[in-house]
Amino acid sequence: MRASLTALGTAALLLLAGTVPALADTGADQTFTIKDPRITESSGLAASRIHPGVYWTHNDSEDGPYLYAVDSRTGETVATVTMTGVGEPRDVEAISLGPDGNLYVGDIGDNLNGTWDHVWIYRLPEPKVLKDVTVRATQFDVTYADGARDAEALMVHPKTGRVWIASKNQDGGGLYEGPEHLSTSGNNVFKRVAEVPWVTDGAFSPDGTRLVLRGYLGADAYTFDDGKLGDERGLGAPFMMQAESVTYTADGTALMLGAEGPGSQVRRLEVKGTNAAQPTPEPGASGGGSASPEAGGKGSGADEGSGGGGSATGKGKSLLGGLIVIGAVWVVIRTKRRRTGA
pLDDT in tens, 15-42: 333 333 333 445 899 999 999 999 999 9
CA–CA gap between residue 212 and residue 246 (Å, rounded): 8
pLDDT value of residue 143: 96
Longest dimension (CA), the chain: 67
Confidence check: pLDDT of 4 > 70: no
pLDDT value of residue 171: 81
Strands 46-47 and 54-57: antiparallel
Q: When comparing pLDDT for 146 and 294, which is higher?
A: 146
* pLDDT confidence tier of residue 155, bands split at 50, 70 and 90: very high
Q: Are the C-beta atoms of residues 119 and 167 closer than 8 Å to each other?
A: no
Query: pLDDT digit string (tens) for 63-72?
Result: 899 999 999 9
C-alpha closest to that of 60 among 48, 73, 43: 43
pLDDT value of residue 172: 84
pLDDT value of residue 26: 56
Tally of helices (H runs) and strands (E runs) in the chain: 2, 21
Query: pLDDT digit string (tens) for 40-74?
Result: 999 999 999 999 999 999 998 778 999 999 999 99
CA–CA gap between residue 162 and residue 190 (Å, rounded): 11
C-alpha closest to that of 41 among 16, 62, 27: 62
Q: Averaged over 76-98, what is the pLDDT?
A: 96
Query: pLDDT digit string (tens) for 248-279?
Result: 999 999 999 999 999 999 999 998 754 544 44
Query: pLDDT digit string (tens) for 276-298?
Result: 444 443 333 333 233 333 333 33
pLDDT value of residue 241: 87
CA–CA gap between residue 269 and residue 280 (Å, rounded): 8
Confidence check: pLDDT of 2 > 60: no
CA–CA gap between residue 337 and residue 5 (Å, rounded): 16
Q: Supply the DSSP symbol for 127.
A: P
∠ CA 103-108-114, rounded to 5°: 170
pLDDT value of residue 62: 77
pLDDT value of residue 169: 83
Helix spans in 216-283 (H): none
- What does 18-46 look like in DSSP terms, one character per residue? --PPPPP--STTS-EE---TT-S-----E
Confidence check: pLDDT of 302 > 60: no
pLDDT value of residue 194: 96
Q: When comparing pLDDT for 279 and 164, which is higher?
A: 164
pLDDT value of residue 325: 42
Phi-psi region of 332 (alpha: psi -120 to 50; beta: other; left: phi over 0): alpha
